Structure 1
Amino acid sequence: MLAPFACQPDQSRGRLHPERMSSFRSPFQRDRDRIIHSSAFRRLKHKTQVFVEHEGDYYRTRLTHSIEVAQVARTISGVLGLNTDLAEAIALAHDLGHTPFGHTGEDALALLMAPYGGFDHNAQALRIVTRLERHYADFDGLNLTWESLEGIAKHNGPVTGPNADEKHSGPLPYALAEVNAEWDLELHTHASAEAQVAAIADDVAYSHHDLHDGLRSGLFDENDLMELPVTGPAFAEVDALYPGLDKMRRRHEALRRVFGRMVEDVIAVAKNRLDAAQPQSVEEIRAMGMTIIRFSKPLYQELKAIRSFLFHRMYRAPTVIVMRKQVTEVVNGLFPLYLAQPEMLPEEWHSDIAAAQSQIELARLVADYVAGMTDRFALQEGQRLLG
């Protein structure tokens, strides 16, 4: 039984290209399955989360991160009576638009694309699922439901209007504007509760696994985490329950408590807010003017301290900075090369290149190609073409 404010499958706004209903899958289950079977989703296995994909077998990639986000989203959605399939679909799709080399690659490509409308990975995810995936006979993209597209576009909150985040103060990313012009995603409102769950699940997942990956990399150790909120009490609890526990088990036991603390906090806050508001439809969730799925203020402040620690000790560690510089050079080299000689792109791109009517359209095609690269392929092409 779904809550009255959940997205009901039989009340979906449908797909841009009408299709016959499946006899055994709901519309949101079909969305999830199409995302999993997409080429872009497969490529996430060789894309950076924090460490470049070839630096170690145990570090998270965009694929393993997306799977962890989906697991958290299903758990929280199930407890709150939301549609777990929709939450999972949005979670699995939320990073499809990421470039090789994570945020470093995105920063480099955004600068290169500044004269051509910029670059944003959330908008690029929409471009992928509405245009760039070309496997179906009747349409480009995956032809996802309106609810899934809405969730991808604004799971982090409204993109336009008075409730939009300050980072959205400029013009809409062209990839988002194109999709929204074809099918109004109501960018001024909040997204469904399922999309909000996917967004908070992303925060939970990376806050947890970046601590784990940072420990494994040796950029910091357990003694450093003993000095932080949330992580310090978690290690202390494990030490009291299991004195003398070996290092790896101690680490796992402590971090699973950190993970559980975040999930339990989100569920408790969401229940309190939903009980107070008593929304009777998903439209009431969208019109609330605030995010209803979020951390409590005390835990949010504690997590800010952890993220500050990770920023200085991990994301800006000297070894990470060196790799950031190297991979930035790869993106900075490949993009102008392909833009000057677009015939170097694979043959299946040539018809689109020939149809491009301006330098802007051509640059956006090149950005699509570069953004779709995996870490290893970008490094290989950088070595082959740039030396």
Structure 2
Amino acid sequence: MKRALSSTMSDTAAYASKPDHSLGRIDGTGPSPTRSEFQRDRDRIIHSTAFRRLQHKTQVFFEHDGNHFRNRLTHTLEVSQMARSMARALHLNEDLAEAIALSHDLGHTPFGHAGERALHAAMAPYGGFDHNIQAMRVVTRLENRYAEHDGLNLTWETLEGILKHNGPLTNPDGTPYGKYAEEGLPSGLDDIPAVADLRLSSFASLEAQTAAIADDIAYNAHDIDDALRAGLLTLPDLLEVPLAGPIVHEVLALYPHVAPKRQAHEVQRRLITRSIEDVIATTAANIAVAGVHSAEDVRMAGKTLVAFSPRIAEAVAGLKAFLFARVYRHESVMVSVRQSEQLVSELFARYMDSRDLPGRWGVAAQAASSDSELARIVADFIAGMTDPYALDEHARLFDARPDFR
């Protein structure tokens, strides 16, 4: 075990994150003879309650649609595998990339993005809801497994990666950056405990950037796979679609007599492989051009270094647009989306009115001294729900259960 650990650490490049150089945790822990600090973060995440809940949270297709569709947990595991593979090829710290990938969806609500939209709308008078900030609340405050502290007590590097894996939140002057320039900064940024400033205007580590692009690759390939399984698409529908189309042509020509399900899996496999290979080649070139020699150089590089090539990035954008129109907004999906949005909205309104939350949540709600404080408690509770639990709570409170049909 010790030999494998030292080998993993010594094989990383100069620009990789180093567990021995971590800024540490708020609550200090003794050294481990068998695990690095980032390995300990990964293990804490896997053993968390929030991680287990992901198995009953919607990805795109709802649980009742079938047992073989992806949920938040299976998606997270697929993202983690891809992030680790790319980190290995780029000589990054695989454990940090894995920890960030495993935690990137911990703040998601039940019912996928539909639940998040409904909760964001309900929370609009109180600062809104952002699943990335919620993931930070989960790992720093809401998990209560430890006797000595709230949260998971993760290292600074893992917290930074969860918060900024999609890029900085602000410009150096403090103004919102990227998507936040249009949307405004999410509420809660001033309430994230960490051992040091999380530096909202700097880029995150290469390991965090790797986790982020792994998420994109997983979405593209696996949402196609699930849409084919659901009958919303056929392989011929993809023939003219960017990125996927040339691969479909190739697979149909090579394996014309293979069962469609096997053809679909072959398309998915090739799509993932080529996307990952493109990222590895492009990122290696970006690192060389940027001349980064440390993790701090990466943070100050002024741009994301882990990326698709321009050609593939354009194709990915076209594929995303196709999936949005043909899958995410397909009427059979939207029926469930509309019902789940209504369910989350109704739960929020009822809890705000009655403060009738179970267990410790009810105690906290009764003690809340303002509507804003109560709303955040309600949002934390709803965001932590699984799909089945949200349905059960709705049935308890309203004596009604949507059938999502």
Q: TM-score range by the shorter chain?
A: over 0.9
Q: Which residue of 123, 144, 147 corresponds with 2:133?
A: 123
Q: Which residue of 256, 264, 278 corresponds with 1:251?
A: 264
1:43 corresponding residue in structure 2: 53
1:359 corresponding residue in structure 2: 371
Q: Secondary structure at the match of 2:192?
A: helix
State how far apart, in whole Å, the 2-side matches of 1:169 and 1:206 are: 24
Is 1:22 the equivalent of 2:32? yes
Q: Which residue of 72, 75, 83 corresponds with 1:73?
A: 83
1:223 corresponding residue in structure 2: 236
- The one-letter code matched in structure 2 to 1:111 is A
Q: Secondary structure at the match of 1:174?
A: coil
State how far apart, in whole Å, the 2-side matches of 1:160 and 1:46 are: 34
Contact 2:100 2:161 in 1 (8 A): yes
State how far apart, in whole Å, the 1-side matches of 2:144 and 2:110 are: 21
Q: Secondary structure at the match of 2:188?
A: helix
Q: Deviations over 1:314-333 (max 9, x none)?
A: 10001111111111111111
State how far apart, in whole Å, the 1-side matches of 2:39 and 2:128 are: 33
Contact 1:127 1:176 in 2 (8 A): no
2:285 corresponding residue in structure 1: 272
- The one-letter code matched in structure 2 to 1:372 is G
Q: Mind listing any 5+ residue stretches in structure 2 that lack a counterpart?
A: 1-10, 401-405
Q: Mind listing any 5+ residue stretches in structure 1 that lack a counterpart?
A: none
Question: Matched residue pairs, number?
Answer: 386
Matches of residues 170-249 of structure 1 in structure 2 within 5 Å? Answer: 171-179=184-192, 183-249=196-262
State how far apart, in whole Å, the 1-side matches of 2:32 and 2:274 are: 39
Matches of residues 20-169 of structure 1 in structure 2 within 5 Å? Answer: 20-161=30-171, 164-169=177-182
Report how far residue 235 of structure 1 moved.
2.0
Report how far residue 172 of structure 1 moved.
3.4
Q: Deviations over 1:209-235 (max 9, x none)?
A: 000001111111111011213222212
Report how far residue 352 of structure 1 moved.
2.6
Q: Deviations over 1:85-112 (max 9, x none)?
A: 0000000000000000111100000010
| TM-score normalised by L of structure 1 | 0.96
State how far apart, in whole Å, the 1-side matches of 2:382 and 2:181 are: 24
Q: Secondary structure at the match of 1:15?
A: coil
State how far apart, in whole Å, the 2-side matches of 1:267 and 1:87 are: 14
Q: Which residue of 320, 323, 331 corresponds with 1:310?
A: 323
Is 1:385 the equivalent of 2:405? no
Contact 2:38 2:96 in 1 (8 A): yes
Query: After the TM superposition, which of the residue ranges 96-105 and 230-239 deviates more from structure 2?
Result: 230-239
Q: Which residue of 278, 294, 299 corresponds with 1:286?
A: 299
Query: After the TM superposition, which of the residue ranges 151-160 and 177-186 deviates more from structure 2?
Result: 177-186
- The one-letter code matched in structure 1 to 2:100 is I
Contact 1:126 1:175 in 2 (8 A): no
Residues 332 and 190 of structure 1: is their aligned pair in 2 closer, same or farther, counting only changes over 3 Å?
same
Q: Which residue of 349, 357, 375 corresponds with 1:345?
A: 357
Report how far residue 355 of structure 1 moved.
4.2
Cα RMSD of the aligned pairs, angstroms, is 1.5
- The one-letter code matched in structure 2 to 1:347 is G
State how far apart, in whole Å, the 1-side matches of 2:282 and 2:344 are: 42
